[in-house]
Amino acid sequence: MRDHSKRRTRLRGARLLAIALAFGLIAAACGSDDDEDAAATTAAAAPATTAAAPATTEGADSLEGTKVTVFGPESSDEEAGALRDALDHFAAQTGIEITYTGARDAADQINAQAAGGNPPDIFIFPQPGKLADFARDGHLVALPADVIAAMNEHWTPAWTAFGDVDGTQYGIPNKSDLKSLVWYKPALFESKGYSVPGTWDELKALSAEMIANGDTPFCIGIESGPATGWTFTDWVEDLMLRFHTPEDYDAWVAGELAFSSDEVSGVFTEVLDLWNTPGMVFAAGGSIAATPFGDNGQPLVDNDCMMHRQASFYAAFIPEGTVFADGSADAVDTFYFPSVRGDQPVLGAGTLVGAFRDAPEVWEVMKYFGSSEYAEVRQRAQTERKGGGLSGFLSAATNQDPSVYQPLEQSFLSILQNADVVRFDGSDLMPAEVGAGTFWTEGTAVVNGDKTVAEATAAIDDSWPQ
Partner 1 sequence: MAALWGAFIGVVISVGASAALFWGTHRLFALVERRWAIVAAVSGAIVGAAAGALLSGIRSGPESEPLLAGSQLVWILGGAAVGGLAGTVAGLRWPLSAARIGAVQSRLRALTFVGPAMLFVALGLIIPLLRTIYLSLFDKRGTDFRGLANYGEIFTNAQSLDLSGWSGIFGSQLFYGAVVLFALMAAIALYRGRRRGVRADFSPGTVGIGLGAGLLLSFAVFASLRGTVMNNLWWVVAVTFLSTALGLLAAVIADRVKRESLAKSLIFLPMAISFVGAGIIWRFMYIARPPQKNQTGLLNALWVWFGTLRPSSGGAWAAVAVLAAVTVLLAGLCAFGVRRRQTAIAVGSATAAIPLLWLIYRFVGPGVGGSVAGPNDEPIAGTILFVQESPYNNVWLMVVLIWIQTGFAMVILSAAIKAVPADLIEAARVDGADERQVFFQVTLPTIVPTITVVMTAMIVLVMKVFDIVRVMTNGNFGTQVIANEMWQRSFTEFNLGLGSALAVVLFLGVVPVMGLNIRRMQRGE
The answer to whether 93 and 64 have CB atoms below 8 angstroms apart is no
* Complete DSSP assignment for 393-436: -----SS--GGGS-HHHHHHHHHHHH-S-EEE-HHHHS-HHIII
* Complete DSSP assignment for 121-174: SEEEES-HHHHHHHHHTT-SPPPPHHHHHHHHTT--HHHHGGGEETTEE-EEEE
Residue 134 CB, shortest distance to partner 1, in Å, is 10
Contacts for 241-246 with beta carbons within 8 Å, 24 or more apart?
A: 241/180, 241/345, 241/347, 241/421, 241/423, 242/200, 242/337, 242/338, 242/339, 242/340, 242/341, 242/345, 243/267, 243/270, 243/340, 243/341, 246/345, 246/421, 246/423
- Restricting to residues 7-26, name those near partner 1 by CB under 8 A: 9, 12-13, 16-17, 19-21, 23-25
Beta carbon nearer to partner 1, 10 or 341: 10
Which range of residues in 27-35, 72-80, 330-338, 376-384 is near partner 1 by CB under 8 A? 27-35
Residue 197 CB, shortest distance to partner 1, in Å, is 24
Residue 242 CB, shortest distance to partner 1, in Å, is 27
- Restricting to residues 105-134, name those near partner 1 by CB under 8 A: 107-109, 111-112, 114-115, 117, 133
- Coil, helix or strand at residue 67: strand
State which of residues 448, 452, 461, 464 lies at the interface with partner 1 (CB under 8 A).
448
Residue 222 CB-half CA count within 13 A: 26
Return the ∠ at Cα 132 (arms to 293 and 349), rounded to 5°.
35
Residue 282 CB, shortest distance to partner 1, in Å, is 6
Interface map 34-63 toward partner 1 (x if CB under 8 A) = -xx-xxx-----------------------
Number of residues lying near partner 1 (CB under 8 A): 58
Does residue 279 belong to the site contacting partner 1 (CB under 8 A)? Answer: no
Which range of residues in 224-232, 327-335, 355-363, 390-398 is near partner 1 by CB under 8 A? 224-232
Does residue 454 belong to the site contacting partner 1 (CB under 8 A)? Answer: no
Question: 105 Cβ partners below 8 Å, 6+ apart?
Answer: 73, 226
State which of residues 96, 283, 311, 415 lies at the interface with partner 1 (CB under 8 A).
283
Neighbours of 173 (CB within 10 A): 27
Beta carbon nearer to partner 1, 101 or 411: 101
The answer to whether 404 and 379 have CB atoms below 8 angstroms apart is yes
Which range of residues in 136-144, 308-316, 321-329, 407-415 is near partner 1 by CB under 8 A? 136-144
- Coil, helix or strand at residue 452: coil
Residue 407 CB, shortest distance to partner 1, in Å, is 32
Interface map 137-176 toward partner 1 (x if CB under 8 A) = xxx-------------------------------------
Beta carbon nearer to partner 1, 221 or 338: 221
Q: Which among 412, 409, 372, 416 is positioned nearest to 158, based on CA atoms?
A: 416
Binding positions for partner 1, rule: CB under 8 A: 9, 12-13, 16-17, 19-21, 23-25, 27-28, 31-32, 35-36, 38-40, 107-109, 111-112, 114-115, 117, 133, 137-139, 225-226, 228-229, 282-287, 289-291, 299, 304, 432-433, 436-437, 441, 444-445, 448, 450, 459, 465
